[in-house]
Amino acid sequence: MSALDGLDAFALSLWLLRIAFLAGLYLFLLGVGRMLLRDLRVASATTPGELGRLVVVGSFEGGPPVGASFPLDAVTTVGRDVNNTIAVDDPFVSTDHAVLTFRGRGWYLEDLQSTNGTYLNGAPVIGVAPLGFGDEVQIGQLRVRLDRPRPVRAA
Amino acid sequence: MTAVPEARPGRAARSSLRSGRAIRPALRRRELALLLIVAATLLVGHASLASTEAGHLTLGNLHLLAAYLGALLVVHVAFIVTGRRMDEILLPVVAMLGGVSLLVMERLPQDLVVQHFGGHAFGLADLQFGWLILSLGLLGALAILVRSDNWLRLYKYTWAAAGIALLLAVFVFGRDVNGAQLNLCVGPICGQPSELVKVILVVFMAGYLADNRELLARASTRVGPFRLPPLPYLVPMGAMLGIALGVVAFQHDLGSALLYFLVFLFLLYIATARLAYVVLGLLVFLAGSAVLYEVYPVVRLRVDIWLNPWADPQGAGYQTLRALYAFGSGGILGTGLGAGLPSAGGAPAIPVIESDFVFAAIGEELGLIGALAILACYLVIAERGMRIAATAQDEFRALLAAGLTLVVVVQAAIIVGGNVRLVPLTGITLPFVSYGGSSLVANAVVVGLLLALSDRGVEPPASPRPRGRAFRIVGERLP
């Protein structure tokens, strides 16, 4: 106690209170920071089950119903041939009609020199076209919209 | 068809979603843990303040703080009971900022703002407490009740018109505050509509950008050899922004004008990822500022103070200089709550310390450490808001979340930058900390909407698509 004799006990406890308040602020931030880190780790660790989905917005006699949706792989081919990822039984669709690829951060659409062409928002696709969520693609008589993947439920 | 289409939720399932499915209460442990830290910290802070003022160790008068913490608990429990799966970090962060605000308002002279209701006089802390409780209630109600965004999405032009009407009403019926025409009074209650207009503006811009994002991002106008953004498609938004900027600038509300413009620019960039817009916007901003500097005495005065506050230390530069001295006397650890803020002639040395310059008060009494902690809280809000935007289900929700986040964070940056003389001072409040009902209520609306947008427990109702509906009649439906 002798070391403390020279100190005013009140001043000391006041100083401790001040520091405790500041420490509390940082304890709070530390807690928040840990939660944010955990949240980000979980988000980066769980790869989404799908990268996007195609929703049918316009169909034809005997085609998939409007509103049906197809989860997409990183490379999704569309055509009349049954070996395509999405096989469309439509006479206006070529055997190997178009391919959708996910490269890095976004989707791209390529027409595989089909007879009737592939249309992106009404414009014919020449070469490889970047494809955004909400864009409409027409393949033969089938019209599909690229939608965001369904959010993954957090564990 | 080799790929089997997934079944769409049937009509029955969707209507049950709409009528609200069974409520399943869910614990929110992280929120509770953080709120407990907030409560403990604020109690220590209050003890520190009360002891400094009393001269002996005491907890002081805990009425207001206890009631505030109780209100937080009520909101927390309401979230649990209604079973919403919302963000768990935003509420504690806002609670911490609001609590610090309450402490600072208790510490400042109570006669800075006095209002009389039914024969009783209410001082600064009482009034701020009332507004905080009202804001918490609004925040909780919005977070729990808002289940669909269609009322925002579908009526964007109506909202825009309402916002402009509100600004024009201030123009006609407004009252002056510190040389700026800001207040609109309905009976005894006065408010600053420019605070609410910022939210309305974001709703409009998110709606417009969500609809026209593709065009704005891809198309372009050719002027000679230059490829400019498609300017015609910017006209509706530009017009809205122009009117808002014109009105608030005419009312000398430079802070709001700057906030609207910056949020517009950031949101445009988020929606289109085209740097050309940012460059163009900054050029327009520089040109506009140069013109305003020449023709507008207020702007010139603010810039001159910023460049050299010592030119007129007892007059124009007084406020800014006093704030700088406050930061200096605070140092790293601060003077402690209740120990700083030397007064000049009975009033605190910094004019408007309870509102625009509240960050200077925090800088003096909590020091660099405390001020940085407050800034970190805004960073956390930014992170949460952008995460909500990144995981949003569609363009409108993403842009809305990003815009709402920007409104809070950019506003804090503008006023903190002004306080520390990093940028010219433009009067605007520090969200959740400054005294003032309009500011608290508007920012509570922002956070309430963010929380509602972050809910993952309920799938949002399908956005109405008239075109899709037309196809649905043609298309064949599976049972």
One DSSP character per residue, B129-189 reads HHHHHHHHHHHHHHHHH---SHHHHTTHHHHHHHHHHHHHHHHHH-EEETTEEEEEEETTE
B37 domain-assigned: no
Report the largest interatomic distance among the alpha carbons of chain A, rounded to a whole angstrom. 99
- Read off the pTM: 0.79
| A 92-131 → B contacts, CB under 8 A | 121
User: Across the strands, what pairs with B177?
Assistant: B180
Residue for token pair 């504690």: B92
Q: Yes or no: say if B204 and B243 are a contact pair by the CB < 8 Å rule.
A: no
What is the reported pLDDT for B474?
39
Beta strands in A104-151, from DSSP E residues, in sequence order: 106-111, 118-120, 123-124, 128-131, 136-139, 142-147
What is the reported pLDDT for B2?
44
- Above 60 in pLDDT, residue B465? no
* CA distance to A14, B241, B393, per residue, from B199 (Å): 42, 13, 21
Cα–Cα distance for residue pair B157/B160, rounded to 1 Å: 5
Confidence of residue B85 (pLDDT cuts 50, 70, 90): confident
B304 touches chain A (CB under 8 A): no
- For the segment B331-338, the average pLDDT, to the nearest whole number, is 88
Contacts of A77 in chain B (CB under 8 A): none
Cα–Cα distance for residue pair B400/B394, rounded to 1 Å: 10
Contacts of B40 in chain A (CB under 8 A): 24
**Nearest one of B158, B253, B265, B171 to B203, comparing CA atoms:** B158
3 state SS of B436:
coil
B128 domain-assigned: no
What is the reported pLDDT for B153?
83
Confidence of residue B175 (pLDDT cuts 50, 70, 90): low
What is the reported pLDDT for B278?
86
B96 domain-assigned: no
Confidence of residue B7 (pLDDT cuts 50, 70, 90): very low
B339 domain-assigned: yes
Residue of B nearest to A84 (CA): B2
Q: Yes or no: say if B337 and B49 are a contact pair by the CB < 8 Å rule.
A: yes
Query: How many contiguous H segments (helices) and E segments (strands) does chain B have?
Result: 18, 9
What is the reported pLDDT for B461?
47
Residue A52 C-alpha from the chain's centroid: 7
Mean pLDDT of chain A: 83
Nearest to A24 among B40, B52, B468 (CB): B40
Contacts of B384 in chain A (CB under 8 A): 36
Q: Which helix (H) or strand (E) holds B286?
A: helix B275-295
User: Across the strands, what pairs with A103?
Assistant: A106
Tell if the CB–CB gap between A27 and B3 is shorter than 8 Å: no
B14 domain-assigned: no
What is the reported pLDDT for B184?
73
Interface pTM (ipTM) of the complex?
0.84
B274 domain-assigned: yes
Burial label, B399 (beta-carbon count in 10 A; 0-12, 13-18, 19+): buried
What is the reported pLDDT for A31?
95
Mean pLDDT of chain B: 82
Name the range with the highest mean pLDDT among A28-42, B51-65, B202-216: A28-42
What is the reported pLDDT for B379?
96
A31 touches chain B (CB under 8 A): yes
Cα–Cα distance for residue pair B130/B213, rounded to 1 Å: 41
- Structural domain containing residue B166: 149-474
B394 touches chain A (CB under 8 A): yes
A69 touches chain B (CB under 8 A): yes
Domain count, chain B: 1
What is the reported pLDDT for B266?
92
- Cα angle: B17, vertex B89, B133; to 5 degrees: 85
B100 domain-assigned: no
Q: For the segment B215-265, what is each residue's pLDDT rounded down to a tens digit?
A: 777 767 666 666 666 777 778 878 878 887 777 777 778 888 889 889 999
B338 domain-assigned: yes
How is residue A118 written in tokens? 């592939």
